[in-house]
Structure formats: structure tokens, C-alpha cells
Amino acid sequence: MQDAITAEYSGPPKLNYLNNGFTLKSWLLTKDHKRIAIMYLITVSLFFMAGGLYASAIRLELLTPASDLLQTGTYNKVFTQHGILMIFFFLIPSIPAVLGNFILPIMIGAKDLALPRINLLSLYIYWVGGAFTVWALLQGGVDTGWTFYTPYSTTFSNTYVMAVGLGIFINGFSSILTGLNFIVTVHTMRAPGMTWFRLPLFVWAQYATSLVMILGTPVIAITVLLLAIERFARVGIFDPTIGGDPILFQHMFWFYSHPAVYIMILPGMGVISELISNFSRKKIFGYEFIAFSSIAIAVFGFLVWGHHMFVSGQSVYAGLVFSFLTMVVAVPSAIKMFNWTATMYKGSISYDTPMLYGIGFMGLFLIGGLTGLFLGAIGLTVHLTDTYFVVAHFHYVMVGGQVIAYLGGIHYWWPKMTGKMYSEFWGKISAMLVFVGFNLTFFPQFILGYMGMPRRYSYPPEFQVLNIFSTAGASVLGVGLILPLIYLTQSLISGKAAGDNPWMLPGLEWRTSSPPPTENFDVMPVVTWEAYEFGEESGLDLEGARANESVRTV
């Protein structure tokens, strides 16, 4: 396909997606999934920083019981905007739009996503939605909580609910289009020999995520649209004083937002499957079970949304049904957890930075998931709901789960994406800091929650001690998160060249150059090996790599 081009550029400065054009236009009008991924990476990081700054403000305010640093009204806006930015603009696009976009097509041996123009469109929609939201935040922001519960959001809040809602509405379509693109790509763009059961598990996870995106996201779109119209027209379909029903909003909101939490974890699970298996240099244990459990989570995830509404006034019967299904949906996650552990058995495990994140994920997601069971047990949730126990639970799964997996994935594929190697030393330091800081921040919140400290609150004095722990932990966590920013940037400038396959792994993405050429492969690959094949069949030149010490420092 690109033979002519490669022949021409066979000299050292090989043409890759990065040096293939330097103009702004060559970036903004690109259809190359890799460039789009890089643009996502930058935007997503900016949103993470903004969300992180809000988080810092929350933790500083919560250092003392009184609302002294932030006025109540400001505090309400701060946690709302923290939630909105982190969820809709950072966590949901994080792994799919950055790592998925970059790696998925390469992993299956495609030249690009099936619909590159749609991919670019999705990036633009994300930008427009993001810009719109940021504009609304600058105008004055919102104070409804990220859940936008009515009738507060429709009738009582005098902040920019409508504008932020529309920002989320727009942004939703970016997510939908990304999901659509992945599904099509996985169906039609696999290289010869890349059968469904040879797909890396990351691809399966992305596929499951995409299903949720397509089936769920439109519902949040229509929900916030109704919310916005409602605010404008005051007809009151969510306003009980004139016949509406505020709980209908909760149903519609959680119909998306519960499955959305699986949008926020499945890609992370995919990354972890890659990391655990590859850094144990061993075939993953129970491939089919991990693959199908992703799909099972995506499907069953749609049946449990009512567990966010146990005390909302929904019927007792519905509460019991949703509690039951919540328990069922935990099982596929359990299957994954056990399979990952079993994968490490008799492996040949190396502790590079990505693997540290992988192991960190196993511990943190375990705690996060198990506390999800606490919240699913309906009699217990009555006490726990809307307390810091919930806050701790979801930070464990979202930060301890997805963010950690995202960081692991970034470190893992960084040499592929940039062709440069970062400092292993600082990578490990930062992984440790994140792990320690994270636990210090959020573990105390479980206790606070059980003690009854409500969320979105300035608390009574007896809760202060644990809150101080939490704030201290957040500082450590903050440092741990700023470090990668520094050393990853530094690696771009002065990092040593990574080589095409620094970890000597069999995946297709490691069989093209780093950074990959515009159409990913110089020769269309033909897959003859199973996923995670480390034996002879993989055709890797391990001896050669061992001889070449510079490939990697252990």
C-alpha cells in the first residue's frame, strides 16, 4: 500500500505520523487516528488538571469544619464542577478516546479507524461541548451537583444549569460517535488472521464500552435536553407542584449514568488485562471468560440503575429488584479479578512502571468494587447513601480503577506513541506516591461515611481528624500526579529512543515502528498467533533483544 513512500524514506528519519506534516492544518484537519488521539490526550489532560484543581479546593475547604475558605455557594459550585469536568470531560473520554483511538486500530492491524472523518468530527464535538461548558463555568458555573437532580436544578438553582446541560448534551455525541466508530472498526477492519478470539482483551473491553456508549449516551442527551427545555419553559414535567415527577428524572439520568460507570471502568479493565498478561509474559488466564465478562458487564449494567435511588422514593419492590440485579452484576467483575490473579501464577513478572500501576489497580479496584457491594445491599445503603462512604466508593473505582489504569496505559504505550522512553526511576516513584496518597485520601472517607458524614457538606467538628488525613493524602496524591506531567514532558525532549518493541511483546502494536507510520504498518500484517503468545509462534527475536542491553533496563 504505502510501499512507494516507505521506499523513498528508507533513510533514518523515518516518516511517522508525528513528522508527517508540521502545520497546524495538518493537525486540525487530520484523519489519522493517532494524531486525533494525541489531541484528545492534550485536551483530556487539561480537563483533568482543571478537575484536579477543583478537587484541591474541596480538600482544602474540608480541612476545617467551618466553611471558611469557600462560601457555601462557592463550595457547591466547586464540587459540582469537579464532578462534571472529571466525569464527562475527563474520565469518559480518557481511555477510549486517547488510548483506544491510538492503539485499537493498530492492535487489530488496521490502517485507521473505519470512519476517520467521523472520528475527527467526534473530536470537534468534544471541543465544542468542552468549550461551551468551560464558557458556562466561567460565566458563573452550576451548583446542582453532577447529578442535576430536579426540581432543584429546574426550579431553584439560579446558576447556569441550561448552558452546562447543553455542553454535556453536545459532548454526549462525541462519545456516541467514538463508540460507533470502534464497533464498526472491530467488525470490519481486522487484519487477516485476526479472528475475534485472537483480539487483545483491550479491544474486547473497548467493544463492550462502545455498546454502552451507543445504547446509553443518547438517553442522557435527551434527559439533559428535557432538563434544559424544562428550565426554559417551566412546564413542569419534573416539577411536582404542577404535576411532574422529579423521580422520573432520576430514572432517566441513571439509566445512562449507571451504565456510564462501566464506560468508566471497562476500558481500564482492558488495559489491566494487557498489563498483567504482558508483564507476566504469559498467556492470560481464561481469555474467553474475561472477554465475555466485559460484554456481560455492559449488558447487565443496564439493569441496575435503580440502586442509586434506594431512598429516593421509588417503590420498595423496585428497590429490591435493583438490589438483586446489582449483586448479579458484580459477578463478572469478580471473574476478571480472579483471572488476573491467576495470570500471574507461574509467570515471568517484571516490574516496570506500567506493571506497578497494574498491581495497584488490582488492589484499589478490589476495595472499590467490594464497597460497591456494601452499597448494593439495600438495607445497608439506607444508612450509607449520600454519605462519604459513597464518595469513597466511587473514587476507589474511578480514580483507583480507571485513572490508575489510564496512567498505566499511558506509561505502557508511551514509547509507542512518542518513540521515547521516560525515566523509569521517576515513574516508579510517582506510581508509589499515587498509591499511597490515594489510600490516605479516600480510605478515611469510608469511616467518615459510616459515621454518617453526608456528602456535599461542611461537617460537624467531630469528623475533623479523619478529614485532615484525607486532605493530607490528597496533597501526596497531587504530587504523585504532577510528577508524570514533568517527566513525561521531559522524555519528549531528552528521553532516549525507545525502539520499536521496548518490552519485547507479541501484540501487533509492537510490530510496527515507534512512532508508527501514518498508515500504521508498512506491510499489512497477517496474524498467525493467538493473543498474548509468548512462545515460538510469536516469532519474537528474544535472543536478539536480550543481547541488546539497551532495549530496556530492568
Partner 1 sequence: MSSHSETGKFHYHEPGLQHQFEDMGQQEESVSIGMWMFLVQEIMFFGGLFTAYLVFRSKYPMAFAAGSNHLDAFWGGLNTLVLIVSSLTMALTVYYAQKSNRNMQVIMILLTMAFGATFLGVKTIEYRDKFNHGLVPVQGWNKRIKAETNAEHETKPCWEVDHNAPAIEHPNPRGEFQWTDCSLVKKAQDEGYLTNAEKIGYFSNGEIDANKFRDKVRIFYYLYFVMTGLHALHMIVGLALMTWLLIVAWRGSFSEDYYMPVEMSGLYWHFVDIVWIFLFPLLYLLGRHFMHGG
Partner 2 sequence: MQTNSWVPLFPEQASTFAWQVDLLYLYLIVISVAFTIPIVVAVFLFALKYREKEKFASGAEIHGSMVLEAGWSFLPFVISMTIFLGGAVVYYNQYKMPEDAMQVYVVGKQWMWKIQHETGQREINELHIPVNRKVKLTMTTEDALHDFSIPAFRTKADVVPGRYTYLWFEANKPGKYHLFCAEYCGLNHSGMGGYVYVMEQSDFDNWLEGNVSGQTPVEQGRDLFENKLGCASCHAGGPQQRGAKLEGIYGKDVHLVGGGTVTANDEYIRNSILNPGSQVVEGFQPIMPTFKGQVTEEQLVSLVAYIKSLSGITGSTSTSQPASNSAANSGSNARTNSNTMTPRRADRGQGNTPGSNPNAPGPANR
Partner 3 sequence: MAEYEQHDHDHIEHDHMTIPKYIGIFLVLVVGTILTYFAATVDLDFIFPGANTLVALLIAFTKMTCVMLFFMHVYWSPRMIWLSAVASFFWLAIMFSYTMQDYLTRDPGVFSP
Footprint on residues 371-390 left by partner 2 (CB under 8 A) = 371, 373-374, 376-383, 385-387
Residue given cell 501484540 in the structure block: 507
Distance of closest approach, residue 216 Cβ to partner 2, in angstroms: 23
Label residues 406-441 b or e (16+ Cβ within 10 Å = b): bbbbbbbbbbbbbbbbbbbebbebbbebbbebbbbb
When CB distances are held under 5 to 8 angstroms depending on the partner's kind, the choice from partner 3, ligand HEA, partner 1, none that residue 283 binds is: none
Residue 471: how many other CB atoms lie within 10 Å: 20
Residue 221's binding partner out of Cu ion, ligand HEA, partner 3, none, with CB under 5 to 8 Å set by partner kind: none
The verdict on 264 binding ligand HEA (CB under 6 A) reads yes
Considering only residues 460 to 499 of the shown chain, the ones binding partner 3 according to CB under 8 A are none
Q: Is 458 in the site for partner 3 (CB under 8 A)?
A: no
**Using CB under 8 A, which of 130, 165, 179, 246 touches partner 2?**
246
The answer to whether 460 contacts partner 2 (rule: CB under 8 A) is yes
Residue from 34, 35, 59, 420 in contact with ligand HEA (CB under 6 A): 59
What letter represents residue 372's amino acid? Answer: G
Q: Which of the ranges 92-100, 126-134, 221-229, 479-487 carries the binding residues for partner 1, by CB under 8 A?
A: 221-229
Among 210-218, 360-368, 369-377, 478-486, the segment contacting partner 1 (CB under 8 A): 210-218
Question: What is the 8-class DSSP label of residue 309?
Answer: -
The Cα 480–Cα 485 span in angstroms is: 10
C-alpha cell at 305: 440503575
Does 91 help bind ligand HEA (rule: CB under 6 A)?
yes
Q: Is the dihedral of CA 426, 515, 271, 32 positive or negative?
A: positive
Residue 328 as a binder of partner 2 (CB under 8 A): the answer is yes
**Hey, what's the cell of 453?**
458524614
Footprint on residues 246-275 left by Cu ion (CB under 5 A): 258
Under 8 Å CB-to-CB from 209, ≥6 apart: which residues? Answer: 96, 100, 179, 182, 262, 263, 266, 267, 270, 298
Judged by CB, which is closer to partner 3: 50, or 219?
219
Contact between 218 and partner 1 by CB under 8 A: the answer reads yes
Give the binding-site size for ligand HEA (rule: CB under 6 A): 61
Minimal distance, residue 457 CB to ligand HEA, in Å: 6
363 part of the interface to partner 2, by CB under 8 A: yes
Between vectors from CA 106 to CA 102 and to CA 111, what angle results, nearest 5°?
100
> Could you identify the residue written with the cell 462557592?
74
- By CB under 8 A, the residues from 245 to 284 that bind partner 3 are 247-248, 251, 255
Which one of 139, 195, 341, 489 is in contact with partner 3 (CB under 8 A)?
195
Of 468-487, which residues contact ligand HEA (CB under 6 A)? 474, 477-478, 481-482
With respect to partner 2, which residue has the nearer C-beta, 44 or 498?
498
Return the range that interacts with ligand HEA (CB under 6 A); candidates 112-120, 157-165, 180-188, 450-458.
450-458
Using the CB atoms, write b or e for 283-318: b if 16+ within 10 Å.
bbbbbebbbebbbbbbbbbbbbbbbbbbeeebeeee
Q: Which stretch binds partner 2 (CB under 8 A): 2-10, 53-61, 222-230, 359-367?
A: 359-367
110 in contact with partner 3 (CB under 8 A): yes
Site for partner 1 in 163-182 (CB under 8 A): 176, 179-181
Backbone angles phi, psi at 282, to 5 degrees: -150, 145
Using the 8-state DSSP alphabet, how is residue 190 labeled? P
Say whether residue 318 binds partner 2 (CB under 8 A).
Answer: no
**DSSP structure class, residue 421:** E
Nearer to ligand HEA, 102 or 146 (CB): 146
Q: What is the DSSP string of 108-151?
A: TT-SS-S-HHHHHHHHHHHHHHHHHHHHHHHHT---STTTT-TT
Alpha carbon of 388 to those of 73, 237, 355, 460: distances in Å?
20, 31, 30, 13
- Cα–Cα distances in angstroms (integers) from residue 384 to residues 149, 190, 446, 465, 466, in the given order: 19, 46, 10, 20, 17
Distance CA 61, CA 112 (A): 47
In whole angstroms, give the CA distance from residue 434 to residue 477.
5
At closest approach, how far in Å is the CB of 448 from partner 1? 36
Peptide bond preceding 332: is omega within 30 degrees of 0, i.e. cis? no
From CA 98, how far away is CA 410, in angstroms rounded?
Answer: 9
Residue 394: contacted member of ligand HEA, Cu ion, partner 1, none (CB under 5 to 8 Å, by partner type): ligand HEA
Selection from Cu ion, ligand HEA, partner 1, none that 188 binds (CB < 5 to 8 A by kind) is: partner 1
Q: Does 398 bind partner 1 (CB under 8 A)?
A: no
Measured CA to CA in angstroms, residue 304 lies from 71, 277, 309, 327, 532 at distances of 36, 31, 10, 9, 34
- Amino acid of residue 15: L
**Footprint of partner 1 (CB under 8 A):** 1, 110-116, 118, 176, 179-181, 183-185, 187-189, 214-219, 221-223, 226, 229, 232-237, 242-245, 248, 251-252, 255, 519
**Footprint of partner 3 (CB under 8 A):** 110, 187-195, 215, 219, 247-248, 251, 255, 302-303, 305-306, 313-318, 321-322, 524
**Footprint of ligand HEA (CB under 6 A):** 49, 52-53, 55-56, 58-59, 62, 79-80, 82-83, 86-87, 90-91, 145-147, 261, 264-265, 307-308, 310, 326, 329-331, 333-334, 337, 366, 369-370, 372-373, 375-376, 381, 385, 390-391, 393-395, 397-399, 401-403, 441, 455-457, 474, 477-478, 481-482
